[in-house]
Structure 1
Amino acid sequence: MSAKEDFYKDLLTQVFDAGVQAAQPGQAIQAAWDSHIAPWLDQMAPERERVWVFGAGKAAASMAKALEAAVNGKEVLQGFVVTRRGHDVKTSTIEVLQAAHPVPDEDGQRAARRLYKSISEVPSSDAVIALVSGGGSSLLSVPVRDIPFVDLQQLNRALLSCGAPIDEMNVVRKHVTLTLGGQLAQVCSAPVFQLLISDVPGDDPTSIASGPFSPDESTFHDAVEVLRRWAVQVPHSISRHLDKGARGEVADTPKRSSLVFRKVKTHLLASNLKSLNAVTQHLEDKGYKVLNLGDTLEGEARDVAQVHAAIARQAAMGQGGWPAAPLAIVSGGECTVTLNETQMRQARGGRNSEFLLALAFYLRDLNADVDVAALAADTDGIDGIGGHAGALMLPGDRQLCKSAKLAPQLHLDQHTSYDYFKRLDRLLMTGPTMTNVNDLRIILIGKP
Structure 2
Amino acid sequence: MKHFTVENPRAFLASLFRAAVSAADPQDCLACALPEPPVGRTIVVGAGKAAASMARALEQAWPGPLAGLVVTRYGHAAPTSRIEVVEAGHPVPDAAGQRAAVRMLDMVSGLCPDDLVICLISGGGSSLLSLALAGMSLEEKRAVNQALLASGATISEMNCVRRHLSSIKGGRLAAACHPARVVTLLISDVPGDDPVNIASGPTVCDATTCQDALDIVRRYGILLPASAERLLASGSGESVKPGDERLARSEVRMIATPAISLAAAAQAAAAAGIQPYVLGDRIEGEAADVGKVMAGIAFQAAQGTEPFQLPCVLLSGGETTVTVKGDGRGGRNVEFLLSLAIALDGHPNVFALAADTDGVDGIEEIAGAYADPTTLARGWQREMVPHAFLANNDGHTYFEALGDSIVTGPTLTNVNDFRALLITSPAGKGC
The count of aligned residue pairs is 421
For the aligned residue pairs, the C-alpha RMSD in angstroms reads 1.5
1:3-402 aligned within 5 A: 7-33=8-34, 37-38=35-36, 41=37, 45=38, 47-48=39-40, 50-71=41-62, 74-189=63-178, 190-245=180-235, 250=236, 252-318=238-304, 321-340=306-325, 343=326, 346-364=327-345, 366=347, 371-402=349-380
What amino acid does structure 1 have at the position aligned with 2:134?
R
Tell me by how many angstroms 1:265 deviates.
1.3
Residue of structure 1 aligned with 2:400, choices 422, 443, 448: 422
Where in structure 2 are there 5+ consecutive unaligned residues?
426-430
Following TM superposition, by how much is the alpha carbon of 1:401 offset from its aligned partner in structure 2, in angstroms? Answer: 2.3
- Measured against aligned partners, the alpha-carbon deviations of 1:157-208 in whole angstroms (never above 9, x if no partner) come to 0000100000111111111110000011111121111100000001111111
Superimposed CA distance per residue, residues 101-134 of structure 1 (whole angstroms, 9 cap, x where no aligned partner) = 0100111111111112212233443111000000
SS of aligned partner of 2:358:
coil
Q: Is the 8 A contact 2:109 2:177 kept in 1?
A: yes
State the TM-score, normalizing by the size of structure 1. 0.91
Q: How far is the alpha carbon of 1:6 from its aligned partner?
A: 6.8
**What secondary structure, in the 3-state scheme, does the structure 2 residue paired with 1:52 have?**
strand
Matched residues in 2 for 1:54 and 1:385: separation?
Answer: 25
Q: Which amino acid aligns with 1:350?
A: G
Contact 2:210–2:237 at 8 Å: present in 1 too? no
Question: 2:428 corresponds to which residue?
Answer: none
AA aligned opposite 1:76: P
Q: Give 1 or 2: higher helix fraction.
A: 1
TM-score in terms of structure 2 length:
0.95
> Equivalents in 2 of 1:364, 1:322: separation in Å?
24
Partner amino acid, structure 1, of 2:137: P
Distance 1:439 1:196 in 2: 17
Q: Deviations over 1:2-23 (max 9, x none)?
A: xx99701111111100000000
State the SS of the aligned residue for 1:296: strand
Paired with 1:286 and 1:169, the residues of 2 have a C-alpha distance of 39
Partner Cα distance (2:396, 2:28) in 1? 34
Counterpart residue identity of residue 359, structure 2: G
Deviations 1:387-406 (A, max 9, x none): 21000012333332232222
Aligned-residue identity in percent: 44
**Structure 2: how far apart are the matches of 1:430 and 1:76?**
34
The C-alpha deviation readout for 1:70-92, integer Å capped at 9, x for no partner, is 11xx2111111000010001011
CA shift at 1:93, angstroms?
0.7
User: How far did 1:260 drift?
Assistant: 1.7
Letter in 1 for 2:182: V
1:261-299 residue CA offsets vs partner (Å, 9 max, x unmatched): 211111001010100000111111111222211111000
Cα distance in 2 for partners of 1:361, 1:324 equals: 25
CA separation in 2, counterparts of 1:121 and 1:395? 61
Unmatched 5+ residue regions in structure 1?
none
In 1, Cα distance between equivalents of 2:226 and 2:420: 43
**What is the one-letter code of the residue matched to 1:12?**
L
C-alpha distance in 1, partners of 2:384/2:170? 45
User: Partners in 1 of 2:88 and 2:272 — Cα distance?
Assistant: 40
Q: Which amino acid aligns with 2:234?
A: K
Aligned partners of 2:24 and 2:261 also within 8 Å: yes
How far apart, CA to CA, are the structure 1 residues paired with 2:364 and 2:72? 19
Alpha-carbon separation, structure 1, partners of 2:273 and 2:330: 33
Name the aligned partner's letter for residue 65 of structure 1. Answer: R
Give CA-to-partner distance per residue, 1:285-316, whole Å, 9 cap, x none.
11122221111100000111111000101221
Query: Which one-letter code corresponds to 1:351 in the other structure?
Result: R
One-letter amino acid of the structure 1 residue matched with residue 104 of structure 2: L
- The worse-fitting range, judged by mean Cα deviation, of 210-219 and 287-296 is 287-296
In the alignment, the residues of structure 1 paired with residue 158 and residue 372 of structure 2 have an alpha-carbon distance, to the nearest angstrom, of 35
SS in 2 for 1:184: helix
In structure 1, the residue corresponding to 2:53 is in which secondary structure? Answer: helix
**In structure 2, what is the equivalent of residue 446 of structure 1?**
424
Amino acid at match of 2:144: L
Q: Tell me the secondary structure at the aligned position of residue 295 of structure 1.
A: strand
CA deviations on 1:11-44 (whole Å, 9 max, x unpaired) are: 11111000000001112212113xxx11xx4xxx
Residues 365 and 13 of structure 1, relative CA distance in 2, 3 Å threshold: closer
Quick check: 1:298–1:333 contact (8 Å CA) kept in 2?
Answer: yes
Of stretches 403-412 and 80-89 in structure 1, the one that deviates more from structure 2 is 403-412
What is the deviation of 1:365? 5.3
> Does structure 1 retain, via aligned residues, the 8 Å contact 2:346–2:374?
no
